[in-house]
Structures are given as structure tokens and as C-alpha cells.
Structure 1
Amino acid sequence: MAAPGERASTAEPGGSPEVPFDSPGRSDSSGGARVRALDAVRGLAVCGILLVNIPQITQMRNGPEPGVYVPAEHWLQLLVQQRFFPVFSFLFGLSFAIFLDGAARRASLPRVVLLRRMAALGVLGALHQFLQPGEALLPYAIVGIVVLLPASWLPRVLVLLAGVLGTVAAVSLTHGGTSLLPGLFLLGLATARYGVHNRFDRPNATVALVFVLSLAAAAPLLYWQSGDIVRNSYSHGAVAAGLLLASAYVTGLLLLLRTRVGPAVSALLEPLGRMALTNYLTATLLVVALAPVLGLPHSLRFGPALALAAGIIGVQVLWSRWWLRRFRYGPFEWLWRCVTWWSPVSPRGTG
């Protein structure tokens, strides 16, 4: 699952509408600075989504089953499943707004540019479905066209209200998944419209407060879910726990980035986030190629699966750092940008 942020690459994000799958450019045409914390958040989401995707791609099994207790699977269900998909979805809406603002300064019909961008993402997602059925790119593109494009004409207060109501409805009436997309997309869009993301790189007591409240609210739900992981993981409470823990992960990371270890954490996660689309797609290729060697398909070998995830993430950190020292965009980010603007874009320049 940047995919799809910052006041920067407004005119052209690197990933999905610049979010879960890509990161915006350095700065927009008005000279805004890059919100580097968003790249780190996106990088964290890349790591989490990989942990979710490996069992799905390899068909290890869809979830816990009665009478079969696998500790690693238990903790993945509790701490990872439905925890990072909301992060990507929120970032997608946020990046959409950033991209639209930049496109409005570059093009006379910015929403046509965004429509082309979404269509390209949908094509890429349709192809990716052959390797990973149920992947995120295609539904992101569809909901982006159906929900985000029309919502871009609405006042920000209505976008915020629709986002809140849509998210609450999804939690109350469904078991999560793609039903969360409209509400989370709109919440991300509203966040950008209110300029909240521009304060992520600065000390902010609100971030600490949201972290504490999210963790406090998630704790009892997680305790309840762990009591019967098989039944409770497919419930409204588990969906709510996922959203709260996703909020805690994001705000916790933002706080961590301001500590002494922040630069080291940022050095690991930012490159992953800036090349999120490329890393998302290449991770699938690596899993498809290596999983049979490790005997993962149709197995319960979660230890080797976690080792595979760690290995892929390590390689992608090194690869992303190497690539970004030479180019501004990742390979798929560059290709996506060229299609978005329907013209060649220099991989090294500001195009």
C-alpha cells in the first residue's frame, strides 16, 4: 500500500497523488520547503505494508484460525494488520491536495493533470494485480477519481466533515479495508487544506497530545482484540484499534524524529519514503521470487517471512540512498511523473 507530501513537490509528487507511493518534490514553485517528516512517515508505512503483504502474496493464510496459535502471526495481527493501510490512505489524500495546488500553478487545467495521474496509477495497479491480487494501487486510483477529484471543489470545512463522517461510517458499518478509503482520503485532503502538515517538522505539543490520546484509546481495544484474536480481528473494534494505533505510530514517529536518534531514524526511513512507489512494486517482485526458496507459500513459517521482510527493507534502504544521491526521483516515480505531465521530465532536475 505514499501512497500516496509537503508544501513542496506540490506541483508534482513522486508517488501516488503523492502519498502512499511517492514523495513530493523538493519545493514547489512558490519556494516552499520540503516537509521531510512526511517522507519518514511514508517510509515507515512502506515497512509496515511489506509485513502485511508477504503473507498475502505467498498465501501463507488469510488470518488466525481456531486451535492454531502462531506467536508471530498473533502479534502481526495485533500490531501490523490494518495499522499501516490507514497511514497510506491518509497520506494519499494529503498529497493529492499538495499536488493539486502545485498543478494549478503550472497548468490551466490542473484537474485534468490529476485525472491523468490517477489513470496512470490505475493502469499500474491493474498490472500489479497479476502479482498481488488485492493490491492497493488500483482502488486508490478509482477512489481518487470518484471521491477526491469532486471533493477538491468543496470548502475545506465540508471536506473535513465528510472525512470524519465517512471514517466513522466505515468503522461502524464495515470491517475496514477499502471502505475506509473515502473517509481517510478526505481527512488527508482536509489536513492539507488547513496547512497542518506544514507544522510536522516543528515542535508541536498537539502532536504529543494526539500520540498520548491515541495510544490510551487503542490500549483497551488491543487488549480486547488479543483476548480472542481469531474472532475479534474481524470486528468493528479491531478497525477502530487499527485507526488509533495508526495515529499513534505516525505521531510517535514525529516525536521520535525530534530526539537525538531522530537523524538516524530519518536517514533510514526518508529514502524509503521518497521512493515509496518503486519500493512498493519491487518488494512484490522480490517476494514472488524469493518466497518459494524459503518455503513460504501455503505455510505457517512466519519467522522466515519476517526475515525476508527485514532483508528486503535493508536492501531497499541502501538502494534508495544510493539512487537518490544520483537522481531526484525513483525509477517508477520518474515514469509516473512523465505520464502525469505528458512530457519528458529530467530525473535529475526540478521538472
Structure 2
Amino acid sequence: MQQAVNLDAKSINITTKKEKKQRIQSVDMLRGFALIGILFANILWYSGYLDSPVSVRGDLLNTSIFDEAVLFLTRLLVHGKFYFIYSFLFGLGFYILYSRANSRYPSFSRYFIKRQLILFLIGCIHAVFIWWGDILRYYALIGLVLLLLKNWEPEHLLKLSLALLLTPLLLDIVNALWSISLNLSFAPESNKSVLLSLYQQGLWFDANFDRMLIGLQGNINSGRLLRIMGMFIMGYYFGQIRFFTESTRSSLLQKRLMIFAVLVALPLGLIKTGASYYDYGFSKMNATLVKEFLYVISVTGMSLGYIALIAYSGNYLQQTLVGRWLQTLGRVPLTNYILQSIIGYVIFQGFGLFAEVPLFQVYMLSLVIIAVQLFLSIEWLKRRKMGPVEELWRRIAG
């Protein structure tokens, strides 16, 4: 067994000032890019589209070619990809924290556990009082696993990451062959008509609590939490191999990931998206296996392609207005993530627009939300170095 990699300050911090600056700017831009994608995905929940019965969608929310177009593009380019990227970023963030551990945190494990518990509390408050789909709770708990892996060799981390990403597919194969499956049932039985009725009657807290339990049950049974863990580890691995620094090796890997995304992941994503519109003639069980296979390859491949694109074009993007916007959004990622759901709640719950706004108009509203967040981020960063939630998190963690 090979000796574990020693991630002490000397072995990690052998980077030039230029490399360190480039890494941080590229990562900030990637965070900003991920936040936009997260909003495009979550706004289908905020607006009530995904919690509405098919009849309501057809009558009110998806009635024009523009509505259908944005739904198709969201399914193809957004769904799944950005929570993968966001998970990747948390793993990369762990790498950055741990790389500075000896100089800043004498007892890193104790500090990190405290940090994750505070994040878990923030996530629970967010989920209970603002939006049931909060991801921070899961990130806080799953992130603790990285403490057990912090001294693993990069190649072992990569293998474990890929294994976790493939595990949901393997579980589906086991279920198909031997009818063995994980099927926990603790959430209240409900359907979209009941949920929509609760929201429309102003019983938001009841509906939100039910959706929170339904979401937790679905995340466990679907294996989504394993995928999140896999992308956490992938982010840590990419940090170890210094993916965001300028080097011939990093550039070559970035190009290969972009090519794979375009030539393999995107076409498979088109086939998977087509399953929402066409019946390919598979049996129910085979259709599940095929969709899971297409999902893991297309979503993972496109996510890594997006990541590679931002890393590869980092120098160019830094000189553009769009790049500076992304970097600004990415400097306050936690605050902006929570702010998105607050604004979504105000628009669709506060103004009674839940399940009332057609899809194309919903996405026009999402652009307004991004503009508002960008303005607030610019103004806040003129006075402070980090966002309010980030600053609170750091102060409490110590």
C-alpha cells in the first residue's frame, strides 16, 4: 500500500502568487456561474411549476412555444448539472481550507466539525422557514466524510468518487435482477393536487414541511446523497491535482473534459431529455436503467465540462464584464444562495403568484433576480470583504 499523501503546508502551498490568484478568481467565477444555474433549476420549484399537476401545467404554465423551449433547454443544460457543480465546489472548498490548516487552524478537525454543524443549523433554518429544497443540510453532514479522506492519495480519491457516482446505477441493476431496493417511507403521502391546494390556501408552512420530508425521502431512496458525496470527493481531488492553476497538465485535462462534454455527454443528454417527450419502447425496468445510465454519464460529463470551461477560459473571462459579474456573485455564494430562495418566496408566495406565471415569464423573472443579486453584491463588497451569511458563519466558527 502506497504511503498516503502528506497534505502539510509545504506540500500544498508550493504555488506561485500568480497561480494562487488565478485559482481564486477562476473558482469565484465558477461559484457565480453555479449560482445562476442553481437559480434556473430551483425557480421551477419556487414558481410552483414542478409542484403542479400536469393539467395545471398544460392549462396555465406551459402553453406557448417559448414555454416549451425554456423547459427543454432547462432539462438539457441545467437539471442536475449545477447541484453537481455546487457539490464539487464544496469539496474544492475543503481542499482550500485544509491546505491552510497548519497556518490558520491548529486543530483542523475540531474547527471543521464546528463549521459544518453551524452550516447544518443555517440549512435547517433555511429549509424550515424559507424553502424546503435547501441543500446546505446535506452538504454539512456529507462534508464531514472528507475528514476521513483528507490524507488519501489523489488516484484513490478519484476511484472512490467515480464509484459513488455510479452506485445509484448499480443499485438499480441489483433491483432489476433480484428485486432488492432501498425504499424508505417516512414522508406523508401526498400528491401535487394536494400540495398545490395547500399553497393556494395560504398554508405555506404545512406544504413546505411536507415537501421537506418528501424531498429527504426522495434524496435517500434515489441515491442522490451518494452522488453529492461523489462530487464532494471529486472537488477535493481536483484541488489536489491543482486543476485551477496554469500548467500544461491542467490545460490538457481541461481540454479533454470539454471535448468529452461536447462529443459524449451532450448527445447522451439529448437522448435522456428526449425521454421526457418520446417513448423509446423500453420496458419500465429497462427504461429506468437506461435513464440512470444516461443521467450519470451526461450529467457528470456536462458538469465537468462546465467546470473545465470556466477554468480554461479564466484568464479571458477576467478581462470581460461577464467574468467580473460572475466573480462578484461568486464572492458571496452562501448569501446569494439563500437570497435566491427569499426572493423566490416573496415573488411567488408573498404576491400570490404560485403556479400562476408561465414558464417563459418565470425565466424572465429569474434574470431580474440575478440582476438584483449582482447589484446587491457589488454594493455590499464595496464595504465588506465577504457576504453577511459568510461573515456570520466564519465568526461563529472561529
Aligned to 1:213: 260
Asked if 1:333 is matched to 2:322, the reply is: no
Aligned AA (1:140): Y
Query: Secondary structure of the residue that 1:320 maps to in structure 2?
Result: helix
Structure with more contact order per residue of length (Cα contacts < 8 Å, sep ≥ 6): 2
Is the contact made by 1:171 and 1:240 (CA closer than 8 Å) also made in structure 2?
no
Aligned to 1:297: 354
Alpha-carbon distance in 1 for matches of 2:340, 2:105: 34
Aligned to 2:138: 139
Is the contact made by 2:120 and 2:136 (CA closer than 8 Å) also made in structure 1?
yes
Is the contact made by 1:36 and 1:201 (CA closer than 8 Å) also made in structure 2?
no
Asked if 1:55 is matched to 2:54, the reply is: no
Is the contact made by 1:148 and 1:186 (CA closer than 8 Å) also made in structure 2?
yes
Query: Secondary structure of the residue that 1:199 maps to in structure 2?
Result: coil
Aligned to 1:278: 335
Change over 3 Å in CA distance of 1:338–1:293 after alignment to 2: closer
Change over 3 Å in CA distance of 1:261–1:329 after alignment to 2: closer
Aligned to 2:224: 177
**Bigger CA radius of gyration:** 2
Change over 3 Å in CA distance of 1:298–1:235 after alignment to 2: farther
Q: 1:175-324 to 2 correspondence within 5 Å? A: 177-199=224-246, 204-229=251-276, 235-259=292-316, 262-292=319-349, 296-299=353-356, 301-324=358-381
Alpha-carbon distance in 2 for matches of 1:61, 1:260: 34
CA deviation after TM superposition for structure 1 residue 32, in Å: 4.5
CA deviation after TM superposition for structure 1 residue 200, in Å: 8.2
Change over 3 Å in CA distance of 1:227–1:32 after alignment to 2: closer
Comparing 152-161 with 216-225, which one deviates more in the overlay? Answer: 152-161
* Superposition TM-score, scaled by structure 1 size: 0.80
What's the CA shift string for 1:84-126, capped at 9, x where partnerless? Answer: 0110111111110110221332232111100011001000000
Change over 3 Å in CA distance of 1:293–1:63 after alignment to 2: closer
What's the CA shift string for 1:185-218, capped at 9, x where partnerless? Answer: 1111122122223338998243222211221111
Is the contact made by 2:47 and 2:357 (CA closer than 8 Å) also made in structure 1?
no
Is the contact made by 1:60 and 1:298 (CA closer than 8 Å) also made in structure 2?
yes
Alpha-carbon distance in 2 for matches of 1:141, 1:299: 34
What's the CA shift string for 1:115-156, capped at 9, x where partnerless? Answer: 0110010000001112211311000001112x2121114333
Aligned to 2:181: none
Aligned to 1:35: 24
Query: Secondary structure of the residue that 2:245 maps to in structure 1?
Result: helix
Comparing 244-253 with 191-200, which one deviates more in the overlay? Answer: 191-200
Over aligned residues, Cα RMSD in angstroms? 3.1
Query: Secondary structure of the residue that 2:230 maps to in structure 1?
Result: helix
What's the CA shift string for 1:268-326, capped at 9, x where partnerless? Answer: 10011110100011111111001246764234621221122101101111221222122
Whose helix proportion is higher, 1 or 2? 2
Stretches of structure 2 lacking an aligned partner (at least 5 in a row):
1-8, 10-14, 173-221, 280-286
Change over 3 Å in CA distance of 1:141–1:260 after alignment to 2: closer
Aligned AA (1:239): V
Comparing 58-67 with 188-197, which one deviates more in the overlay? Answer: 58-67
Is the contact made by 1:257 and 1:265 (CA closer than 8 Å) also made in structure 2?
no
Is the contact made by 1:48 and 1:80 (CA closer than 8 Å) also made in structure 2?
yes
Comparing 61-70 with 32-41, which one deviates more in the overlay? Answer: 61-70
Change over 3 Å in CA distance of 1:133–1:48 after alignment to 2: same
Q: 1:107-126 to 2 correspondence within 5 Å? A: 107-126=105-124
Change over 3 Å in CA distance of 1:215–1:176 after alignment to 2: farther
Change over 3 Å in CA distance of 1:256–1:159 after alignment to 2: closer
Aligned AA (2:112): L
- Number of equivalences: 314
Aligned AA (1:135): D
Aligned AA (1:181): I
Stretches of structure 1 lacking an aligned partner (at least 5 in a row):
1-9, 11-26, 342-351
Amino-acid identity (%): 24
Alpha-carbon distance in 1 for matches of 2:392, 2:146: 23
Change over 3 Å in CA distance of 1:41–1:171 after alignment to 2: farther
Please point out which of 34, 39, 43 is paired with 1:45.
Answer: 34
Aligned to 2:162: 164
